[in-house]
Chain A
Amino acid sequence: MGNIFRWFVPRSGKAARQRSFLGICSFLLPLLVWCLVSYVPFIWHPKILVVDPGGVDYFQVGMLVDKSVFRDELANMQLQHLGVPHGEPANPIYLPAPHQVAKAFYTAFTTEPEQKDGPWLHESLWHSVKIIFWGFVISSLFGVPLGILSGTYSIFGRLSEPFIEFFRYLPAPAFGALAVAVLGIYDGPKIAIIVIGTFFQQVLIVANTTRKLDTTILEAALTLGTRRISLLTRVVVPAILPDLYRDQRILLGWAWTYLIVAELIGTSTGITWFITQQARYQHFDNVYAAIMMIGILGFGTDLLLAKLGRRLFPWDRSLDRT
């Protein structure tokens, strides 16, 4: 018993082995649920996969029918003494089993696009990554300096933040039509949506991070003879850098969530185009694989950036706790 309760002590999970074990579990648990639903016939399986249509004229091999329909037809055939249909319980088409999706991870890359000159999956993915990259870079180029200025000098903050507070409640996709009118139908409006979705949050978050800087650090710098501009470049910026880096990681995740909406604007491209195409042909295994690829790309980048952060800022104490 004692052993079990030890796991629930808050903030005690310091042992690295225990932590990575729990980390793996957090992925295995949902997978386990998915496996149960997919492979254990009596858990959900609301459909019947027809194996032998028997005497039912509209049944075909491989067809999915509702359980109730199948039951009715079975009773019908028995009444009429015709061949009874055979089938096995199955899940709806939109819930493929784990092994099907796993296979799709590979086959999605190797199957030719449905349309002759359509992009392959890896090309679609790369296109999406480029959209995210440029959206995030452009947003950061303006958002980070403005955030730092707003956080350091109250005049900047008072002048910009009320409007930004207002603007961030305007949903970025609402600007889609406008963006198309201004920037055309290709990548321009997509990048614009990501910029709009990220920029305003970015300014506020960065300004807040900057404001949290310990004033003693600033005062110490002042008593050492630091003048205005160097106070910003030599003290404020380096002091907030690790927190700024963490903010940027969170904001990059934010940018990813805008990706799908952004790619629907104008001509659909990238991974979104792939997903909508596959859904149209009812290749839901491919759809799931593509959705997961977005997750893996985003999460993977974040893990990498977190690792990099630990190397970049060896003096940052708050990294020890995460």
Chain B
Amino acid sequence: MNIESTLPGYLEQSDAVRARFDRIRQREIILEVRNLGKHYSSAQGDVEALRDINFKVHRREFICVLGPSGCGKSTLVRTLAGLEKHSSGKVLLDGKPVLGPGQDRGMVFQGYSLFPWLTVKKNVMFGPEMNGRDHDEAERDARLWLDLVGLDKFADAYPHQLSGGMRQRVAIARALVNQPRILLMDEPFGALDAMTRAKMQTHLLDIWRNIDITVLFITHDLDEAIFLADRILVLKAHPGEVQEVIEVPVPRPRSAASLSSPEFRATKARLEELIHPAAAQESEEDQVVKPHMIRFTNVTDNVE
């Protein structure tokens, strides 16, 4: 194809983009992961979920972790959150080892994680109250953050009365009100419809632009990763290893138009190269699940 041949390489960066990356590299390191490894021992045997992961995240950087399903993305982010113990290596937050979950790392889950018995406002107040803030202070903070995600009108609603997108907004506000050093997000928009997801992505970038927060965002969606990230950590499966770290050359600020920019398409082409060979191989599931198609309709009754 003609267009493909005229694409710039994904490694080519405009001056503005390169200058931006230089600035990022000069900021202090928030999170450092050194030789991280993780084994699960289950009844079916030993699974090596992560092997020798190394990366650093600078302050106010937006990192995406991309990989096919089952490659250990959730394991990685849960280890960083302190919800899983790692088998080897180190996780350092501001130079201090991570020993367990704590409010210095906010987390947004893919599934439904709001407390259903609390109103939206009380959900957001939960973190500050757990960390010893008094009620009035917590309420003031909650109002502020709800306003920021645009849900101040729903402060007294219960989570079940909200749409999926609104729930994730509340989850983001609930994580940010604790003023964590880093926001960990495990496929937070995976369950949303395409339109809501696009809106939420833009909204997340808006938030990130305006507050001092570093984001580590898990996704299996190539477009989402390129649209959001400064750098993309591409994982491969069995065991989960870093395949490549890509600096996204798409300039900021990004908008819907960025999706068709040459830099975007070049990056996507590279990601497809990385992810696709893995997908082309028969996965474990494909080896077991083999559909045997039988024709149930009349031979003359064709749809194609």
The CA-CA distance from A230 to B130 in the complex, in Å, is: 8
The CA-CA distance from A26 to B209 in the complex, in Å, is: 63
Given known contacts A219-B83, A314-B158, A315-B160, A225 and B116 CB-to-CB distance under 8 angstroms: no
How does the 8 Å CB contact mask read for B167-203 relative to A, with 1 for contact and 0 for none? 0000100110010000010000000000000000000
Are B158 and A225 neighbours in the complex by a CB distance under 8 Å? no
How does the 8 Å CB contact mask read for A285-322 relative to B, with 1 for contact and 0 for none? 00000000000000000000000000001111100000
Count contacts between A and B, CB distance < 8 Å.
76
Query: Nearest Cβ distance between residue A109 and chain B, in whole angstroms?
Result: 43
Instruction: Report A-chain residues with C-beta under 8 Å of the C-beta of B106.
Output: 223-224
Are B130 and A224 neighbours in the complex by a CB distance under 8 Å? yes
Are B175 and A223 neighbours in the complex by a CB distance under 8 Å? yes
Interface range, B side: 20 to 34
Chain A residues close to B by CB (< 8 Å): 214, 216-217, 219-227, 230, 234-235, 238-239, 241, 313-317
The CA-CA distance from A235 to B111 in the complex, in Å, is: 17
Are B158 and A315 neighbours in the complex by a CB distance under 8 Å? yes
Are A216 and B109 neighbours in the complex by a CB distance under 8 Å? yes
Are B130 and A225 neighbours in the complex by a CB distance under 8 Å? yes
Are A239 and B130 neighbours in the complex by a CB distance under 8 Å? no
Main secondary structure of the interface of A (DSSP, over half): helix
Which residue of chain A lies nearest to B127 when distances are taken between CB atoms in the complex?
A: A224
Which residue of chain B lies nearest to A227 when distances are taken between CB atoms in the complex?
A: B130
Given known contacts A220-B109, A230-B130, A225 and B103 CB-to-CB distance under 8 angstroms: yes
The CA-CA distance from A317 to B159 in the complex, in Å, is: 11
A-B contact pairs, 20 of them (CB 8 A): A219-B81, A219-B109, A219-B113, A220-B114, A221-B126, A223-B82, A223-B105, A224-B127, A224-B130, A224-B174, A224-B178, A225-B101, A225-B102, A225-B131, A225-B178, A226-B130, A230-B130, A315-B117, A315-B159, A317-B160
Instruction: Report B-chain residues with C-beta under 8 Å of the C-beta of A220.
Output: 107, 109, 113-115, 171
Contact of B113 among A217, A227, A238 (CB under 8 A): A217
Given known contacts A222-B101, A224-B126, A239 and B115 CB-to-CB distance under 8 angstroms: yes
The CA-CA distance from A220 to B159 in the complex, in Å, is: 15
Contact of A234 among B103, B130, B174 (CB under 8 A): B130
B112 at the interface (CB under 8 A from A): yes
The CA-CA distance from A238 to B160 in the complex, in Å, is: 16
Are B112 and A216 neighbours in the complex by a CB distance under 8 Å? yes
Query: Nearest Cβ distance between residue B239 and chain A, in whole angstroms?
Result: 24
Instruction: Report A-chain residues with C-beta under 8 Å of the C-beta of B178.
Output: 224-225
The CA-CA distance from A307 to B175 in the complex, in Å, is: 36
The CA-CA distance from A217 to B101 in the complex, in Å, is: 14
Query: Nearest Cβ distance between residue B83 and chain A, in whole angstroms?
Result: 5
Are A313 and B109 neighbours in the complex by a CB distance under 8 Å? no
Given known contacts A219-B83, A225-B130, A235 and B112 CB-to-CB distance under 8 angstroms: no
Instruction: Report A-chain residues with C-beta under 8 Å of the C-beta of B130.
Output: 221, 224-227, 230, 234
Instruction: Report B-chain residues with C-beta under 8 Å of the C-beta of A238.
Output: 115, 117-118
The CA-CA distance from A51 to B5 in the complex, in Å, is: 112
Query: Nearest Cβ distance between residue A320 and chain B, in whole angstroms?
Result: 10
Are A223 and B112 neighbours in the complex by a CB distance under 8 Å? no
Are A223 and B81 neighbours in the complex by a CB distance under 8 Å? yes
